Structure 1
Amino acid sequence: MAVVTKVEHQSVEERAAKGRACREQSPRSGHKAWAPATDRPDPVALLEEQNLTRDQDLVPVRHGRMLVSPFTFYRGAARIMAADLKDTPRAGLVSQLCGDAHLSNFGVFASPERTLLFDLNDFDETLPGPFEYDVKRMAASFTIAARNNAFTADEVRDVTLAAVRSYREAMADFARMRTLDIWYARLSEEQLLEAVDLAVRSQKGKALKKAQRGAEAARRNVDKARTRDSLHALSKLAELVDGQYRIVSQPPIVVPLRELESAYGMSAEEAGPALREQLRAYRATLPADRRRLLERFEVVDVARKVVGVGSVGTRAFIVLLQGRDQQDPLFLQVKEATRSVLEDHLPKSRYRQPGERVVQGQRMMQAASDIFLGWTKGVQDNRYLYWRQLRDMKGSAVVEGMKPLAMRFYADACGWTLARAHARSGDPVAIDAYLGKGDTFDRSITDFSQRYAVQNDRDYEAFAEAVRSGRLEAADAV
Structure 2
Amino acid sequence: MTEKKVKHPSVEERASQGKGYREKTPISSHTGWVPASARPDPVALLEEQNQTREQDLVPVRHGRMLASPFTFYRGAAKIMAADLKDMPRAGLDCQLCGDAHLSNFGVFASPERNLLFDLNDFDETLPGPFEYDVKRMSASFTIAARSNAFTKDQTRDVTLTAVRAYREAMAQFAQMRTLDIWYARLSEEQLVAAIDLAVATLKGKALKKAAHGMGKTARQGVAKAHTRDSLQALSKLAELADGRYRIVSQPPIVIPARDLGDSYGLSGDEIEHVIREQFRSYRATLPEDRRHLLERFEVIDVARKVVGVGSVGTRAFIALLQGRDQQDPLFLQVKEATRSVLEDHLPKSRFKQPGERVVQGQRMMQAASDIFLGWTKGAQDDRYLYWRQLRDMKGSAVVEGMKPVGMTFYANVCGWTLARAHARSGDPIAIAAYLGKSDKFDRSITDFSERYADQNDKDYEAFADAVRTGRLEAADGV
Aligned residue runs from structure 1 range 135-154, under 5 A:
135-154=134-153
Deviations 1:196-234 (A, max 9, x none): 001111123122122111101100000000000000000
Deviations 1:254-305 (A, max 9, x none): 0001111111111111112211111111001000000000000000000000
The answer for the alignment partner of 1:443 in structure 2 is 443
Using structure 2 for the length normalisation, give the TM-score: 0.99
Deviations 1:37-78 (A, max 9, x none): 000000000000000000000000000000000000000000
Is the counterpart of residue 199 in structure 1 residue 172 in structure 2?
no
Structure 1: distance between partners of 2:404 and 2:274: 50
Deviations 1:141-165 (A, max 9, x none): 0000000000000000000000000
Structure 2: distance between partners of 1:206 and 1:87: 43
The answer for the alignment partner of 2:368 in structure 1 is 368
Deviations 1:231-267 (A, max 9, x none): 0000000000011000000000000011111111111
The answer for the alignment partner of 1:333 in structure 2 is 333
Shift in Å at residue 477 of structure 1?
Answer: 2.7
Structure 2: distance between partners of 1:403 and 1:346: 37
Is the counterpart of residue 53 in structure 1 residue 13 in structure 2?
no
Deviations 1:7-46 (A, max 9, x none): 0000000000000000111101110100000000000000
- Which amino acid in structure 1 is aligned with residue 282 of structure 2? Y
- Which amino acid in structure 2 is aligned with residue 73 of structure 1? F
1:437 alignment partner, SS class: coil
The answer for the alignment partner of 1:398 in structure 2 is 398
The answer for the alignment partner of 1:414 in structure 2 is 414
- Which amino acid in structure 1 is aligned with residue 123 of structure 2? D
The answer for the alignment partner of 1:465 in structure 2 is 465
The answer for the alignment partner of 1:303 in structure 2 is 303
Aligned residue runs from structure 1 range 320-359, under 5 A:
320-359=320-359
The answer for the alignment partner of 1:96 in structure 2 is 95
Structure 2: distance between partners of 1:85 and 1:428: 22
The answer for the alignment partner of 1:174 in structure 2 is 173
The answer for the alignment partner of 2:130 in structure 1 is 131
The answer for the alignment partner of 2:11 in structure 1 is 12
The answer for the alignment partner of 1:313 in structure 2 is 313
Percent same amino acid at aligned positions?
79
The answer for the alignment partner of 1:44 in structure 2 is 43
- Which amino acid in structure 2 is aligned with residue 325 of structure 1? D
Structure 2: distance between partners of 1:37 and 1:213: 43
Structure 2: distance between partners of 1:318 and 1:288: 23
Structure 1: distance between partners of 2:13 and 2:339: 35
1:393 alignment partner, SS class: coil
Using structure 1 for the length normalisation, give the TM-score: 0.99
Structure 2: distance between partners of 1:477 and 1:468: 16
| Aligned length, in residue pairs | 477
Is the counterpart of residue 212 in structure 1 residue 212 in structure 2?
yes
- Which amino acid in structure 1 is aligned with residue 101 of structure 2? H
Structure 2: distance between partners of 1:145 and 1:234: 33
Structure 2: distance between partners of 1:473 and 1:374: 34
- Which amino acid in structure 1 is aligned with residue 100 of structure 2? A
Deviations 1:81-124 (A, max 9, x none): 00000000000000000000000000000000000000000000
Structure 1: distance between partners of 2:320 and 2:401: 33
Name the stretch that deviates more: 261-270 or 138-147: 261-270
Structure 2: distance between partners of 1:307 and 1:40: 30
- Which amino acid in structure 2 is aligned with residue 262 of structure 1? D
Structure 2: distance between partners of 1:41 and 1:210: 42
Unaligned runs of 5+ in 2: none
Structure 2: distance between partners of 1:262 and 1:37: 44
The answer for the alignment partner of 1:190 in structure 2 is 189
Structure 2: distance between partners of 1:453 and 1:6: 43
Deviations 1:373-397 (A, max 9, x none): 0000000000000000000000000
The answer for the alignment partner of 2:431 in structure 1 is 431
1:303 alignment partner, SS class: strand
Aligned residue runs from structure 1 range 240-279, under 5 A:
240-279=240-279
Aligned residue runs from structure 1 range 17-36, under 5 A:
17-36=16-35
1:108 alignment partner, SS class: strand
- Which amino acid in structure 2 is aligned with residue 62 of structure 1? R
Structure 1: distance between partners of 2:351 and 2:2: 15
Shift in Å at residue 187 of structure 1?
Answer: 0.3
Shift in Å at residue 411 of structure 1?
Answer: 0.2
Structure 1: distance between partners of 2:334 and 2:413: 29
Aligned residue runs from structure 1 range 233-244, under 5 A:
233-244=233-244
Structure 1 residue ranges, 4+ long, deviating more than 2 angstroms after superposition: none
The answer for the alignment partner of 1:476 in structure 2 is 476
- Which amino acid in structure 2 is aligned with residue 83 of structure 1? A
Name the stretch that deviates more: 201-210 or 397-406: 201-210
1:255 alignment partner, SS class: strand
- Which amino acid in structure 2 is aligned with residue 417 of structure 1? T
- Whether the 8 Å CA contact 1:233–1:391 is kept in 2: the answer is yes
Structure 1: distance between partners of 2:207 and 2:13: 47
The answer for the alignment partner of 1:155 in structure 2 is 154
Is the counterpart of residue 290 in structure 1 residue 285 in structure 2?
no
Structure 2: distance between partners of 1:467 and 1:43: 13
Structure 2: distance between partners of 1:340 and 1:5: 26
Aligned residue runs from structure 1 range 48-87, under 5 A:
48-87=47-86
Structure 1: distance between partners of 2:138 and 2:477: 26
Deviations 1:166-203 (A, max 9, x none): 00000000000000000000000000000000111112
- Which amino acid in structure 2 is aligned with residue 441 of structure 1? F
- Whether the 8 Å CA contact 1:376–1:386 is kept in 2: the answer is yes
- Whether the 8 Å CA contact 1:68–1:477 is kept in 2: the answer is no
How large is the Cα RMSD of the aligned pairs?
0.5
